[in-house]
Amino acid sequence: MHMVTEIPLFKDAVEPIYQQVARHFRLQIESGRMLPGDRLPPTRDLARALGVGRISVVNAYAQLQTDGLITAHPGRGTFVSGARVPSVSGGTRWRSPGALNLSVREMVRLARQPGVIAFSGGTPPEEFLPVEALRHAINSVLDHDGAAAVTYEESEGYPPLRKQVSDYVTSLGIQCHPDEVLITGGAQQALDLVVQTVMGEGDVLLTSNPTYLGMLDIAHIRRVIPVGVPMDEHGIQLDALELAIEEHQPALIYVAPTYHNPTGTVMPLHRRRQLLALAQRHAIPILEDAVYHELSYRQAAPPPLKALDEGDMVLHASGYSKILLPGTRIGYLIANGTLRERLARVKQAADICTPALNQRAMHQYLASGGIVGHLNRVRSELRIRCEAALAAAEAYGPPGMTWDEPAGGLYLWTRLPDDGPTAAELYVTAIQHGVAYAIGSLFHTDGRGSRYIRFNFSSHQPARIEEGFRRLGDAWHDWRDSYLPAVRHAPIL
């Protein structure tokens, strides 16, 4: 008789109970723990033992029956009808019931369950956000500006904020006049405006592989074709990029040279110069994404591409989401020449303007000078959390997991060993153990990267980080214990 007490159920989970029950039996059957002819418990007994409604168990059995895994014999009971895990010669690919069928939205919902240590998000943690300072800035703006703070702003942005941005990027070495600054709804809108303005439907966008997931979303929505170029520890590989340029004649190259999301890599100065020369030789504009530029905690970041850009090839996008307040949705784009006018028109068509109150409050906060101390605190906390993540990955991560140490940003990019599950296969088991992460293949243009996992280590304090990696290691071992027997026993095709 099956040990019903072993069925782990999450009653608050987004995944319905009947699916959890069905997934459990599917796993037992496909792993060979339950064999053809084994009897499943009667629905009434199982429901009582699990403390769930009988309808949940009935639905679970119905689903398993539809999948051909079990057969009901009226009067006798319900039995496993076969269908052990299909073997693959070499034994390195196993089926993980349920996990691969989850959509990204479902994964996000699962990661939000209470008690789950989520490393999956892309934002700084709440305790990094200077809420009090924002309250102060908003009150002061409303006191001083009154209705002007809550009416339409110029499409290009609140002029004093544009001036502040131009002063700041000038300090990074970028030659910039305030007129060349477009304030946007986060950096995301800056990226989207550029794609809309310089690309047409069906054009090719060259980008690193892996790349920022949000850029893949934009490409999808705007019907341009993202083509991935391999990376190494210094960012996008230039010989491969040149070949891709020749093959695809792209309309745009998108790069994030500093603390790349998801890999954390930094492109060194010499490669930045070579990249610019390459783009200029082929006359392809570059969209530079610099949202993590300020989050260095080991060594200072090299100058942005735009600061080295003598040929005027680079559009520079950045913003305040990663360093200050994601929800205020303040980003910016630096663009010169006639492109600037076109971008401003697309921005106006998109949303008329970025909210005046948010822009003015951001301006007020930046003018107070508070960002300097804030960034120092954030950087030192990030260093502590990064060290904790590296130590925890070493101590508790799946044996054979590898990574490169990031020098800045929010993420640790790791690779799972080959002798175990892929990141997607492990996902549901990891959630059951109370830990969530971002699956590497999501960041790829071509579905590769199935063994990669991105951890946003900034999300938690060191003790939670350690506990999260401990849970991950346990989940990985559990998964292997469940599936390895199936691989060993599977008939050779």
Residues that bind ligand PLP (CB under 6 A): 122, 186-188, 212, 214, 256, 261, 289, 291, 319, 321, 326, 331
Q: What are phi and psi of 192, to 5 degrees?
A: -65, -40
Residue closer to ligand PLP by CB (options 156, 425) is: 156
434: which residues sit within 8 A by CB, 6+ positions away?
115, 116, 117, 471
Shortest CB 190 distance to ligand PLP, Å: 8
Q: Where are the alpha helices (DSSP H) in 306-458?
A: 337-351, 356-367, 370-396, 423-432
Q: Which of 132, 153, 143 is nearest to 358 (CA)?
A: 153
Nearest residue to ligand PLP, scored by beta-carbon proximity: 186
> How far apart are CB 114 and ligand PLP at their closest, in Å?
24
**Residue corresponding to tokens 């341009």:** 224
Element (H, E) at 70: strand 70-73
Give the residue with the Cβ less far from ligand PLP, 429 or 458.
458
> Residue 261: CB partners within 8 Å, gap ≥ 6?
122, 212, 291, 292, 409, 410, 411, 443
Decide whether 186 or 421 has the Cβ nearer to ligand PLP: 186
Specify the residue, 122 or 304, whose C-beta has the smaller distance to ligand PLP.
122
Nearer to ligand PLP, 207 or 432 (CB): 207
Q: Which is nearer to ligand PLP, 99 or 315 (CB)?
A: 315
- Helix and strand totals (H; E) in the chain: 15, 17
Q: At closest approach, how far in Å is the CB of 373 from ligand PLP? A: 22
Compute the least distance from the CB of residue 189 to ligand PLP, in Å: 7
Q: Are 278 and 245 in contact (CB under 8 A)?
A: yes
CB within 8 A of 259, min separation 6: which ones? Answer: 265, 266, 292, 293, 295, 296, 301, 406, 407, 408, 409
Closest CA to 336 of 470, 215, 175, 217: 175
How would you class 472 by CB atoms within 10 Å of its CB: exposed for 0-12, middle for 13-18, buried for 19 or more? Answer: buried
Q: How far apart are CA 43 and CA 39, in angstroms?
A: 12
* Cβ proximity to ligand PLP, 165 vs 486, nearer residue: 165
Residue 407 beta carbon to ligand PLP: minimum distance, rounded to whole angstroms: 16
Q: Encoding tokens for residue 367?
A: 């003018």
Taking the least distance from each CB to ligand PLP, the nearer of 183 and 472 is 183
The distance of Cα 354 from the centroid of its chain, to the nearest Å, equals 25
Looking at the Cβ atoms of 29 and 266, the one nearer to ligand PLP is 266
Using the minimum distance from each CB to ligand PLP, give the nearer residue, 215 or 487: 215
Indicate the helix (H) or strand (E) that contains 143: helix 131-145
CB neighbours (10 Å) of residue 135? Answer: 11
Minimum distance from residue 106 beta carbon to ligand PLP (Å): 20
Considering beta carbons, is residue 122 or 434 the nearer one to ligand PLP?
Answer: 122
Q: Strand order in 252-255's β-sheet? A: 181-185, 330-334, 314-319, 286-289, 252-255, 204-209, 225-232, 235-236
Smallest separation, CB 261 to ligand PLP (Å): 4
State the number of CA atoms in the 13 A half-sphere of 195 facing the CB: 28
In one-letter notation, the amino acid at residue 296 is S
